Structure 1
Amino acid sequence: MVLEKVKHILAEQFDVEEDNITADTNIADDLGADSLDVVDLLMSLEDEFDVEIPDEEIENLKTVGDVVNYLEEHM
């Protein structure tokens, strides 16, 4: 369920098909996210999942799977 929501948010934000996003998708390399995109993404995720993602965690969230694991552990 978390993966599906994250994929939906990413698909909307980066204008890609949800089917092209997997847990192994690298947010920067595969989706072309720059630092501003990542901040926007994290704000969307925080709103959607009602969690706070500290700035120091951002560098550890490289793939969609990393994001999903973080959200599942902190919800």
Structure 2
Amino acid sequence: MERSDILAKVVSLAADELEADAAGLDESTEFKSLGADSFDLLELVTAFEDEFGSTLDDDSLQKIQTLGDAVDAIASALGA
């Protein structure tokens, strides 16, 4: 799966879960700036894992601060 495809899905899921405008989101967008708390991030990680059919490891989860970080973690989990 291409990085751009992963990013598009991450943006869509984040926009839906956090009620944000997808048009204003990119790889540098911080989840914190969208008002996400730790519970929101847990829900998002679950949504990412369901969408991509892969489990994100604990090391990757600790590093997720931005949409780009989430894309990196998913790409790594998918072996992309």
TM-score, normalisation: structure 2? 0.85
Q: C-alpha displacement at 1:72, in angstroms?
A: 1.1
More helix by share: 2
Could you tell me which residue of structure 2 aligns to residue 32 of structure 1? 35
List gaps (5 residues or longer) in structure 1: none
- SS of the equivalent of 2:34 reads coil
- Render the CA deviation track for 1:24-56: whole Å, top value 9, x for unaligned: 00112x111111001000000000001112344
Aligned-CA RMSD value: 1.1
Count of matched residue positions in the alignment of Structure 1 and Structure 2: 74
List gaps (5 residues or longer) in structure 2: none
Could you tell me which residue of structure 2 aligns to residue 50 of structure 1? 53
Query: C-alpha separation between the residues in 2 aligned to 1:55 and 1:35?
Result: 14
AA of the residue aligned to 1:13: E
> Would the aligned equivalents of 2:26 and 2:67 in 1 still touch at CA under 8 Å?
yes
Deviates more, 1:5-14 or 1:47-56: 47-56
The reply on whether 1:7 has 2:8 as its aligned counterpart is no
Identity, in percent, stands at 28
